[in-house]
């Protein structure tokens, strides 16, 4: 949903790939596969059925056009995917696939899997930016800068003080990420209306087994309880916000009249050859503001009516991927900005 | 920035294309071309220079990789595009291209051009939905339905009354669209800092000529005055919002217990064969809520500091295309929903 | 809903009063009064009944505790207000009051009345700020300042150029206000479910007569069509946004290192005696961002289900008054900021 | 900033009081008092000075008009409050008050104190709603209801299942609240630019002592690191959101056509005597949507430029109190709604 050239600036290909169809469909099949194994383990389906399902999930090439049309018609991809999956499995095991599950079981668990990969990537990038900030502090921490409060020169302080203000929230975000990973990235298994009845008393065991196989947390079905999703969005918006603050600060310091920072590779103007625009700093501010708005919208999806709201759920799908990509882009820009910058001591 | 399968559901290819690189780059070259013609007309550049620029703009195949890298580096595509354009023009006319203009002149005017195409498309779709609603009223307007207030049965009324509540805002949106087209889709020509000085007194004439050629309104440079952009976003959010109301209403009426509407082609469930889900209605609600959030973010971009804010401007680029696509998708879903639905008289 | 001391800073008593109970209840009684007159004019009620209703509406002192409890219980003030009103009218005319009307008829029309007063106030303040800007341009328009693009020094321009960028959007807001007044400030009369049936064919005449008496526009009932309300919010957010841009610019220019503007009466610091904080400028930015968020929320209320949504309607009541007060506060701060400021020529 | 009658419906007096001037000023004086004690303990000021300051803080009646004017002028209340405080202390100890501190130290720590009281209240109310839900489950948990997915009848389930979906997020919110209390409610002591230099090496000891006295967590100065504030807002929006889901569900179940719930004390209509409107349910939805929007705005304040942003900080003051009041009102309405409701078994 964005001019591609602008995507190069404000997007993030690596994160976008985590929400692309390839990864998404692979995650869905991983979940169907894990479900089959867990159901075999508790005797709900035969071991050979599970083997056949796992094998087909590993190799199945899905008809994407059909998935596309199915998604448009059904509002979710799963009915058509299960149809294709069962056709590929063939008799006598076709019916053992997706047994007892509802679309949301598969989609929410797959989302948790995709978010797990996202969290790994985000955490790596947070660590990387923190390393860059720490290195910078080691190199230039003693540089004396002017602190500014309410847009006015206040008192001198050191680059170390400034860098700490940038780094500390990111350090806390790593803790938040670890906590959110545990609490929010959970298997979703509940069957049609979330009661687990379709799993004939085995839902807790299936959830535990799938959590173990997929590296997710176990929790009772949470179909219509979207607080964990809101937590994920909050984490992403926090990250983009903190990087937006770094961008805003860098932009202020890079003003010609202030000149407290020197940036590598600033942008050129088509009209003024003398300009060296702090493009990365500005993009960080834009990303933070975009992210804040998206999280405000994601919170609207907490009003998830009855046992499954197509409206609220679809809204999550619209908001979460750009929220993730925005956080990823912010970390990418943050790293580049920090890496190439040098402080200029007060005159 | 979205799972492609979900894009099929909540996106709109036709609108997305209007913000894709092909259309965008063509618009940028159209603006450079119109600028050259206007500058020749007032004697700022030679007629042959303008001819050569126009000719190259018509046929130039841009190096997209280079544009991509330039955008990432400069925060805007124009410096690299102008470099390529001038190289293709060659001497002695290279310097006559983009003369006196700044990146924002070209980008904002191209945006106005792209929005003009969007407005045409949106207006056609509004008219189409209105025709469908009017036809429906002609067919089933006398059907007696139960009006509901505050989620409770209130009093009987007719389908005609219901349809009027859906149609009247859309009719007003067509008026809003026409007014916004006149007031907001304007040429932007101001030079580096918006004063027009680089056009040596000819800025008003150039603006008038370009407006005439490009089918836009003429207005003094508005580089840092983003109220027109906010109006465009408001129009789009209004449209998605009104269709969200239709979707919400249809969803309420399509409840099994209410049963006042029968929908064509509802969605299937992967677990419950008896379900006929009002997918289109739910998607309309999701689109409306997404759109409302985006417009809240676009309004943040009114705080556009100094003579050009990279942060606020970039934020517009992130928000406007999905706002447009959301409105387009809402109209598409609205037409499909309305087209396939029938009222069921009160028992 | 705000610390009172902070209200003094970010609120606006004059606007708050327009949404306070005194004005609100007076507006409600004015509408009941106008309704009675209009119903008498078309013969729905007796002339003496209307006289009695008008007389009581003029002098009635409402029991506020009772209204408070009624609002909490019914979700709207009208049932209890009508009960009190009818009790005060007494027989034989009690039943002629509120005849055929529903709560929303009275509340929405009263809101239009209150918004009319708000629009008057806002327009006066817009005109005042524009006068101050024009005077400033007359006084100091030739001062040479440095234009800044993307946070960097760009090229010199004049204070007149700068002031025009601040004034032009406000001028356009006056036009928007005039247009929105005509299109959005309309009588709401539709009866229980908006069809007007309870007025026995006289709804159009009643609407016309009430519009005439109350100084509002006439339009068919729009109970569940909230696009006009969204337009009002958009206007208010536009105004706050444009003043936020002025505040942001002034803040940037007032930086010690830039020093292009001198402000009267800046804020003191409790710790740094040398500080002269551009408080008004900063508050304008905060108001703009607050306002943008509120309008994003108001647009959520377009999804107004069925013939009356208690949820969406209540949401409007929560958002519109602070949106109005924020716009009012922005204009107040804007006037004070502009009035006390002087440009400092480039060194 | 709201019609008072509407405040009775959507506001919460008890929470509002926590953000009212009385509590706010008392908190500010408590912080000045605790600061004096902590500074005496580490020898920065004399013990008698601290005693005098503590005594005056306990009994001082502040001149509110003066505070009001000071806030308007300085953008913060502290300079005038410290002036009044020092005048009341008199010589020789006047200068020992507020020693080394900046306005933000006092305001942010006082905010943490106020939020501590808010968290106590919120946690009590969460526990109360949970008790009501548990009691309800004990009473009517076996009632068979119809689950609805995507607005359609799905399969039967029990009231216990339904109640669990409402209760589980609230249970998690209590855990979130406990975690946020520890991580986010921290003393802020950093001096003019957050480095603690004005406390001559004693900042860590002062922070520890104040945390101990005030019942807050200790943390290094976080003047420009607003992630903790964003966490507080997120918690409040989560709570309002989960109650909004309960409200939405109750509203759906209370539809005449569905009739799965019977509510106590529904609202009356001014026009339709047969109506029994689910006012509390609708208000919960409105509160959730309002809250989501506010949190989206609070996240904008993460872009807090330099060492203190008057704009971003003021924005927090505008958003946090209504966010808190909205969560409080949601819990109040939630308790009342749940308390008075009974399930109706499927026919």
pLDDT digits (tens, 9 = 90+) for B330-347: 999 999 999 989 999 876
How would you class C168 by CB atoms within 10 Å of its CB: exposed for 0-12, middle for 13-18, buried for 19 or more?
A: buried
Percentage, residues of chain D above pLDDT 90: 93
User: Rounded to the nearest 5°, which phi and psi values hold at A248?
Assistant: -60, -45
Of A153, A155, A277, the CB nearest to C152: A277
Diameter of chain A by CA atoms? 81
A151 and C267 within 8 Å at the Cβ level: the answer is: no
pLDDT reading at A150 higher than 90: yes
Residue range B226-251: mean pLDDT, rounded: 98
**Residues of chain B found within 8 Å of residue C169, distances taken between Cβ atoms:** 225, 227
Of B154, B258, B282, the CB nearest to D150: B282
The tokens describing A252, both together, are 């202020």
Residue range A228-235: mean pLDDT, rounded: 98
Interface test with B, best of A271, A287, A302, A333 (most B CBs within 10 A): A271
User: Rounded to the nearest 5°, which phi and psi values hold at D186?
Assistant: -125, 150
**Residues of chain A found within 8 Å of residue D230, distances taken between Cβ atoms:** 234, 237-238, 241
C300 touches C315 (CB < 8 A): yes
User: Is residue D139 among the annotated active site residues?
Assistant: no
Neighbours of D113 (CB within 10 A): 24
What gap in Å lies between CA B109 and CA B210, rounded to an integer?
9
Ramachandran sector of residue D162 (left: φ over 0; alpha: ψ -120 to 50; beta: rest): alpha
> In 3D, which of C263, C269, C315 has the Cα closest to residue C294?
C315
Task: State residue C266's pLDDT score.
Answer: 67
The single residue of C269, C289, C309, C332 carrying the catalytic annotation is C269
Q: From the centroid of its chain, how far is CA A238? A: 12
Angstroms from D55 CA to nearest CA on chain A: 32
What gap in Å lies between CA A272 and CA B74, rounded to an integer?
12
What gap in Å lies between CA B310 and CA C154, rounded to an integer?
13
One-character DSSP codes across A37-94: HHHHHTTSS-HHHHHHHHHHHHH----HHHHHHHHHHHSSSHHHHHHHHHHHH-TTTG
**From residue C173, how far is each of A335, B175, B183, C177 by CA, in Å?**
41, 18, 12, 6
**Residues of chain A found within 8 Å of residue B82, distances taken between Cβ atoms:** 270
The contacts of residue C54 (CB under 8 Å, 6+ apart) are C33, C36, C37
The reply to whether C192 touches chain B by the CB within 8 Å rule is: yes
pLDDT reading at B3 higher than 90: no
Angstroms from B75 CA to nearest CA on chain C: 10
How would you class C42 by CB atoms within 10 Å of its CB: exposed for 0-12, middle for 13-18, buried for 19 or more?
A: middle
> In 3D, which of C243, C237, C235, C236 has the Cα closest to residue C166?
C243
Neighbours of D91 (CB within 10 A): 7
In chain C (347 residues long), the average pLDDT of successive 10-residue segments reads 78 96 97 98 98 98 96 95 98 98 98 98 98 98 97 97 98 98 98 96 98 98 98 98 98 97 80 83 98 98 98 98 98 95 88
Task: State residue A48's pLDDT score.
Answer: 98
> In 3D, which of D112, D114, D78, D100 has the Cα closest to residue D211?
D112
Q: Taking CA atoms, what residue in B is nearest to C219?
A: B168
Can you point out the beta strands (E) in chain A? 144-149, 152-158, 261-262, 342-343
Task: Give the A:D interface size as CB pairs under 8 Å.
Answer: 212
pLDDT tens for A1-16 read 445 889 999 999 999 9
Task: State residue C340's pLDDT score.
Answer: 83
B155 and D276 within 8 Å at the Cβ level: the answer is: no
* Alpha-helical runs (H) found in chain C: 4-10, 13-18, 21-41, 47-59, 64-74, 78-89, 103-140, 159-184, 203-214, 227-253, 279-300, 310-339
Angstroms from B230 CA to nearest CA on chain D: 18
The reply to whether A293 touches chain C by the CB within 8 Å rule is: yes
Q: Encode A183-202: b = buried (16+ Cβ within 10 Å), e = exposed.
A: bbbbbbbbbbbbbbbbbeeb
A220 and D168 within 8 Å at the Cβ level: the answer is: yes
pLDDT reading at D273 higher than 80: no
Task: State residue B1's pLDDT score.
Answer: 43
Residue range A295-316: mean pLDDT, rounded: 98
Q: Which DSSP letter does residue C186 get?
A: B
Residue range D220-247: mean pLDDT, rounded: 98
Three-state DSSP at B90 gives coil
ipTM strictly over 0.90?
yes
pLDDT reading at A347 higher than 80: no
The reply to whether C77 touches chain D by the CB within 8 Å rule is: yes
pLDDT, chain B, mean: 96
The tokens describing A105, both together, are 């079981």
pLDDT reading at D230 higher than 60: yes
D150 and B255 within 8 Å at the Cβ level: the answer is: no
What gap in Å lies between CA A186 and CA C276, rounded to an integer?
52
Task: State residue A266's pLDDT score.
Answer: 66
The reply to whether C194 touches chain D by the CB within 8 Å rule is: no
Domain D4-343 in CATH 1.20.200.10? The answer is yes
The mean-pLDDT minimum among A260-269, B190-199, C321-330 falls in A260-269
Token pair 């996106």 in the structure block, residue: B11
Q: At what angle do helices D279-300 and C279-300 cross, to 10 degrees?
A: 140
B152 and D278 within 8 Å at the Cβ level: the answer is: yes
The reply to whether B270 touches chain D by the CB within 8 Å rule is: no
Whether cis (ω within 30° of 0) applies to the bond prior to D92 is: yes
**Residues of chain A found within 8 Å of residue B301, distances taken between Cβ atoms:** 289
How would you class B58 by CB atoms within 10 Å of its CB: exposed for 0-12, middle for 13-18, buried for 19 or more?
A: exposed
Task: State residue A28's pLDDT score.
Answer: 98
Residue range A103-118: mean pLDDT, rounded: 98
Token pair 């800025």 in the structure block, residue: B203
Q: Encode D272-286: b = buried (16+ Cβ within 10 Å), e = exposed.
A: beebbbbbbbbbbbb
A315 and B7 within 8 Å at the Cβ level: the answer is: no
The single residue of D153, D172, D182, D269 carrying the catalytic annotation is D269
B279 and D150 within 8 Å at the Cβ level: the answer is: yes
Whether cis (ω within 30° of 0) applies to the bond prior to A92 is: yes
**Residues of chain B found within 8 Å of residue D255, distances taken between Cβ atoms:** 148, 151-152, 255, 257-258
pLDDT tens for D205-215 read 999 999 999 99
The contacts of residue B301 (CB under 8 Å, 6+ apart) are A289, B226, B229, B230, B312, B313, B315, B316, B319
pLDDT tens for B65-75 read 999 999 999 99
Angstroms from B152 CA to nearest CA on chain C: 9
User: Rounded to the nearest 5°, which phi and psi values hold at B31?
Assistant: -70, -45
Of C227, C244, C296, the CB nearest to B296: C296
The reply to whether A28 touches chain B by the CB within 8 Å rule is: no
The reply to whether D299 touches chain A by the CB within 8 Å rule is: yes
The reply to whether D171 touches chain A by the CB within 8 Å rule is: no
Task: State residue C27's pLDDT score.
Answer: 98
Percentage, residues of chain B above pLDDT 90: 93
C152 and A251 within 8 Å at the Cβ level: the answer is: no
The reply to whether B201 touches chain D by the CB within 8 Å rule is: no
Task: State residue D266's pLDDT score.
Answer: 67
pLDDT reading at D1 higher than 90: no
> Which sequence spans correspond to the domains of chain C?
4-343
The reply to whether B278 touches chain A by the CB within 8 Å rule is: yes
Angstroms from D94 CA to nearest CA on chain A: 24
User: Is residue C242 among the annotated active site residues?
Assistant: no
- Paired with C146 in beta bridges are C156
Angstroms from D28 CA to nearest CA on chain A: 21
Angstroms from C132 CA to nearest CA on chain B: 19
Q: At what angle do helices A279-300 and A310-339 cross, to 10 degrees?
A: 160
Of B73, B282, B314, the CB nearest to A282: B314
The tokens describing B277, both together, are 């889900």
Angle at D57 between CA D53 and CA D62, to 5 degrees: 125
What gap in Å lies between CA C244 and CA C166, rounded to an integer?
10
> In 3D, which of B150, D13, D291 has the Cα closest to residue C68?
D13
Diameter of chain B by CA atoms? 81
pLDDT reading at D96 higher than 60: yes
B306 and C151 within 8 Å at the Cβ level: the answer is: yes
Angstroms from B18 CA to nearest CA on chain C: 25
A179 touches A231 (CB < 8 A): no
Is the whole-model pTM more than 0.90?
Answer: yes
C74 touches D279 (CB < 8 A): yes
Task: State residue B266's pLDDT score.
Answer: 67
What gap in Å lies between CA C101 and CA C98, rounded to an integer?
5
pLDDT tens for B10-64 read 999 999 999 999 999 999 999 999 999 999 999 999 999 999 999 999 999 999 9
What gap in Å lies between CA A64 and CA B7, rounded to an integer?
13
**Residues of chain D found within 8 Å of residue B279, distances taken between Cβ atoms:** 150
The reply to whether C347 touches chain D by the CB within 8 Å rule is: no
Residue range A209-216: mean pLDDT, rounded: 98
Q: Taking CA atoms, what residue in B is nearest to C294?
A: B296
Residue range A30-45: mean pLDDT, rounded: 98
pLDDT tens for B18-33 read 999 999 999 999 999 9
**Residues of chain A found within 8 Å of residue C148, distances taken between Cβ atoms:** 255
C150 and A282 within 8 Å at the Cβ level: the answer is: yes
The tokens describing C116, both together, are 């009319």
- Paired with A342 in beta bridges are A262
What gap in Å lies between CA C239 and CA B294, rounded to an integer?
19
Residue range A32-61: mean pLDDT, rounded: 98
């Amino acid at each position: 949903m964005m001019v591609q050239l602008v995507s190069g600036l404000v997007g993030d290909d690596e994160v976008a790939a985590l929400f692309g169809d390839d990864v998404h469909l692979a995650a869905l099949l991983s979940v169907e596969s894990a479900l089959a194994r867990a159901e075999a383990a508790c005797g709900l389906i035969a071991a050979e059925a599970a083997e056949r399902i796992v094998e087909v999930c590993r190799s199945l090439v899905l008809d994407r056009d059909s998935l596309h049309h199915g998604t448009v018609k059904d509002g979710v991809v799963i009915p058509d995917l299960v149809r294709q999956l069962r056709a590929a499995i063939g008799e006598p095991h076709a019916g053992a696939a997706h047994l007892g599950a509802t679309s949301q079981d598969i989609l929410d668990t797959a989302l948790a899997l995709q978010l797990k990969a996202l969290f790994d990537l985000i955490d790596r990038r947070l660590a990387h930016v923190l390393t860059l900030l720490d290195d910078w502090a080691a190199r230039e921490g003693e540089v004396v800068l002017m602190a500014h409060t309410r847009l006015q020169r206040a008192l001198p302080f050191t680059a170390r003080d400034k860098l700490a203000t940038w780094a500390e929230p990111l350090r806390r975000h790593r803790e938040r990420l670890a906590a959110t990973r545990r609490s929010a990235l959970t298997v979703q298994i509940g069957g049609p209306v979330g009661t687990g009845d379709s799993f004939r008393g085995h839902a807790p065991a299936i959830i535990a087994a799938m959590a173990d196989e997929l590296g997710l947390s176990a929790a009772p079905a949470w179909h219509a309880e979207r607080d964990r999703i809101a937590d994920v969005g909050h984490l992403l918006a926090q990250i983009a916000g903190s990087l937006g603050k770094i961008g805003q600060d860098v932009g202020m310091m890079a003003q010609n009249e202030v000149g407290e920072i020197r940036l590598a590779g600033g942008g050129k103007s088509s009209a003024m050859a003398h300009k060296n625009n702090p493009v990365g700093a500005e993009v960080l501010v834009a990303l933070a503001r975009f992210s804040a708005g998206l999280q405000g919208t994601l919170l609207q999806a907490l009003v998830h009516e009855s046992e499954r709201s197509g409206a609220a759920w679809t809204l999550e799908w619209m908001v979460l991927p750009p929220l993730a990509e925005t956080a990823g882009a912010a970390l990418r820009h943050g790293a580049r900005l920090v890496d190439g910058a040098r402080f200029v001591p007060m005159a």
